[in-house]
Amino acid sequence: MRCVCSYSEHKDANMPDPHKADLESKEVLNIFREIKKRPELTQRELSSHLGISLGKVNFLLKALIKKGHIKVRNFKNSNNKCAYIYNITPHGLEEKARITYNFLGRKLKEYKELEGEIQRLEEEVDDIHIPDKIRD
């Protein structure tokens, strides 16, 4: 049985343009991860699992769909209601890999900066000669 509902792409004057969305964010990477694991998740479930607003999930999904990274199919669920399945396209898999690589690079840079800051703080503490009873 084919569902006759459609994925709405209503243009709300108050909503930012999905074409201009930041698709390099951690939220986008997490959306790709969740969709890969469970493509049948609703936007509300994605929002809950990822800890981001339902509006942002909707906005990012629309942007990913417009860019061709995700395709959406509709179907009737067990409650006989329209539901959607989100599939990552081959282009989307390439984009996910690129985002993952860039995200890893940013995190490694942050990690190295944090290591340097920790080393500087440890040196400062050693220079101050703080009594052991205060350090604990």
Per-residue HEC secondary structure of the chain comes to CCCCCCCCCCCCCCCCCHHHCCCCCHHHHHHHHHHHHCCCCCHHHHHHHHCCCHHHHHHHHHHHHHCCCEEEEEEECCCCCEEEEEEECHHHHHHHHHHHHHHHHHHHHHHHHHHHHHHHHHHHHHHHCCCHHHHC
| 24-44 tens-digit pLDDT | 789 999 999 999 999 999 999
Highest CATH level, class, for 18-135? mainly alpha
pLDDT at 11: 47
Q: Which residue has the higher pLDDT, 14 or 31?
A: 31
Backbone angles phi, psi at 89, to 5 degrees: -80, 165
pLDDT at 22: 63
pLDDT at 90: 97
Partners of residue 71 on adjacent β-strands = 87
pLDDT at 82: 81
| 56-83 tens-digit pLDDT | 999 999 999 999 999 999 877 667 678 8
Which of 118, 83, 95, 121 shows the shortest CA–CA distance to 36? Answer: 95
Residue 135 has pLDDT above 70, yes or no: no
Residue 13 has pLDDT above 50, yes or no: no
pTM for the predicted model, two decimal places: 0.72
Q: Which residue has the higher pLDDT, 11 or 40?
A: 40
